[in-house]
A and B are shown apart, each in its own frame.
Chain A
Amino acid sequence: MTELPAQAFAVTRAFGHFVAVDQVDLEVRPGEVVGLLGANGAGKTTLIRLLLGLLRPSGGEIRLFGEPPSRHARRRIGYVPQGLGLYDDLTPAENLAFSAAVFGEGPEAAALPAPLRPYRGTVVGALPLGVQRTAAFAEALAHRPDLLVLDEPTSGVDPLARARLWETVAAAAAAGAGVLVTTHYMDEAGECDRLVIMAAGRAVARGTAREITGDTRISVVEAESWAAAFGALEAAGLPVTLVGRTLRVPGVPPDAVRRALGNLPATVTSAPATLEERFFELTLSSGKTEAPS
């Protein structure tokens, strides 16, 4: 495949006055996994819908396999939306059969993979979430797509089941598909070859997790009374998170934290930021944390 599975060139999409996606560049190459991170309302789902051809851009261009989005391109795409996209009142086998027929695939595409066989006779609505997600993946992959788009594919599932779903994703990428995935699990960012972080419709950071986190550091507070320290920091208007019994303050240097604490007995040190804290900082500094729905 010489053309890239998915490309966005300075894509913009506005709804009235609200700009959901603002001049975003993105590309997905064959065999790579691109992670799209961002707050709710940052524009991730809108961007995905633009890439899939469900929405038309207000500005910029979208290319799927070198062409503008078309029905022909859809045959080469596998999509797992947030709501799974399966029929609750059909069994996995029936769902696969329907999908295979629609994509014009032969009966081998409708065959149930081994992990799903014990559940062949149960309607999807009655299956545990992990099995539902496995079935959704199976359906998206059945027609051997060249582009796989996954919207929060592992939400709510236990760590072992998540690992197994990611095996499937990695296998698809190894077979040559380009994968675009959104997630809220920070450790899954480590599964991606590249990350794009969106905030307020813009792409505010790109690269690997390590590149994005860089040298950012945060302040760590260990106090005798975490509740008192929490109160003091909160009163000073600083963003605080509680981790066990220590407090972490992203985006604020230790001396500022020390000042906010006043005379409270506590030790304030500096530590490397996690990807999540860096993400937090990026989102806050972009000015908007929540967009109107």
Chain B
Amino acid sequence: MTAPGAAGSAGGWWGTEDVCVRFGGTLALDHVWFRAEPGRVSAVVGGDGAGRTTLLRCLAGALAPASGRVRRPAPLATGYMSAGSGVYPDLSVNENLAFRATAYRVPPQQAHERTGELLARAGLDRVGDRLAGQLSGGMRQKLGVIAAMIHRPDLLVLDEPTTGVDPVSRSDLWWLIARAAAGGTAVVLATSYLDEAERAHDVLVLDAGTVLGSGTAEQIVAAMPGSLTVTGERPAGEAGRRAWRREGRWRVWDPAGGDPAGVIVPDLQDAVTVAILARELSLVPAGGEPR
């Protein structure tokens, strides 16, 4: 069912093949195919309950699927940050990192250097002795990411590292993430910020456990059915059900692609909103085909 350590440096990949996960009566993941490659950042987007955390837990090895295959590295080569930072609030920054380094068998000298370097670049070098619980949200998330990547894993799985974090700390976090990818790690992160997802190499869109779309941001946008127009007021009647508010105005989705006048170029957030809306209106079935 799982094949740890299957991907090598020669074009291997990590991910899931046709994975289903069941919690009691609910299907949390429904035939999900996902692929993450070394040196690339993959974003997993979707609302609460979409299955992002479940998927990430499968990738990290915290959860075994009911069916399907998970390709992941051995636990020593996997880095995981659970939602909500995953660090001990009653240990200091340095103590948290020391615990991780020891648990992942990083030699002390190497751990020392790497810790110093990462903390400095993330702006946490002056708070080494502060308790993690006393850090602000952004700093704690940064610590969580550093802790997850301290042993240079082959696969780095981050559950919502940037949610609730201010844009400045988010920028630092993206630096850390990009750094990991630059080092050859395959990075998978769950995010609720679609502008962030656009920055990733590829995106997986989940909704209620099924894949609504996957590929690069451009591919997902290109695959959006129909077209979008923008109006100042919500249209009346049936069209009103296909409209949503964004930045003070209303986007209206026409599934059939209609009149080219007034059509705007959608971005990833628009494409994802359309996918969720379409699902809700049951106009387009959701698919989970492999890439």
A108 at the interface (CB under 8 A from B): no
Residues of B near A167 (CB, < 8 A) are 244-245
A58 at the interface (CB under 8 A from B): no
Partner of A227, one of B39, B139, B277: B39
Question: When A163-B273, A185-B193, A187-B195 are in contact, do A289 and B47 touch as well, CB less than 8 Å?
Answer: no
Interface residues of A in 217-253 (CB under 8 A from B): 226-227, 230-231, 234, 239-245
CB pair A159 B166 closer than 8 Å: no
| Distance to closest chain B CB from A12 (angstroms) | 21
Closest residue of chain B to A275 (Cβ to Cβ) is B167
Partner of B246, one of A190, A234, A244, A276: A190
Partner of B136, one of A82, A156, A166, A291: A291
Complexed CA–CA distance, A244 and B42 (Å) = 10
A191 at the interface (CB under 8 A from B): yes
CB pair A243 B198 closer than 8 Å: yes
Contact surface of B with A, Cβ cutoff 8 Å: 39, 41, 46-50, 121, 123, 134-139, 160, 163-171, 174-175, 177-179, 181-182, 192-195, 198-201, 207, 216-217, 244-248, 269, 272-273, 276-277, 280
Residues of A near B49 (CB, < 8 A) are 128-130
Question: When A130-B47, A293-B136 are in contact, do A164 and B244 touch as well, CB less than 8 Å?
Answer: yes
CB pair B136 A41 closer than 8 Å: yes
Partner of A158, one of B163, B248, B276: B276
| Distance to closest chain B CB from A38 (angstroms) | 7
Residues of A near B39 (CB, < 8 A) are 227
| Distance to closest chain B CB from A131 (angstroms) | 9
Residue from B168, B178, B200, B217 with most neighbouring chain A CB atoms (10 Å): B168
Complexed CA–CA distance, A285 and B33 (Å) = 44
Complexed CA–CA distance, A39 and B194 (Å) = 19
A264 at the interface (CB under 8 A from B): no
Q: How many A-B residue pairs have CB under 8 A?
A: 150
| Distance to closest chain B CB from A243 (angstroms) | 4
A40 at the interface (CB under 8 A from B): yes
Residues of A near B246 (CB, < 8 A) are 163, 166, 187, 190-191
Partner of A130, one of B48, B165, B181, B194: B48
Interface size range of chain A in the complex: 35 or more
Closest 6 CB pairs of A and B: A158-B47, A190-B247, A129-B48, A163-B244, A39-B166, A227-B182
Interface residues of A in 274-293 (CB under 8 A from B): 276, 279-280, 283-284, 289-291, 293
Closest residue of chain B to A187 (Cβ to Cβ) is B247
Partner of A293, one of B134, B192, B245, B247: B134
Question: When A130-B48, A241-B199 are in contact, do A39 and B175 touch as well, CB less than 8 Å?
Answer: no
Complexed CA–CA distance, A184 and B181 (Å) = 25
Q: Can you list 15 residue pairs at the A/B interface with Cβ under 8 Å?
A: A40-B139, A157-B47, A160-B244, A190-B246, A227-B39, A227-B181, A234-B121, A240-B178, A241-B175, A242-B199, A243-B199, A244-B216, A245-B201, A280-B171, A289-B169
Interface residues of A in 52-104 (CB under 8 A from B): 82
CB pair A156 B164 closer than 8 Å: yes
Q: Interface readout for A239-271 with B: 1 if CB under 8 Å, 0 if not?
A: 111111100000000000000000000000000
Partner of B168, one of A160, A170, A289: A289
Complexed CA–CA distance, A245 and B248 (Å) = 31
Residues of B near A245 (CB, < 8 A) are 201
CB pair A39 B201 closer than 8 Å: no
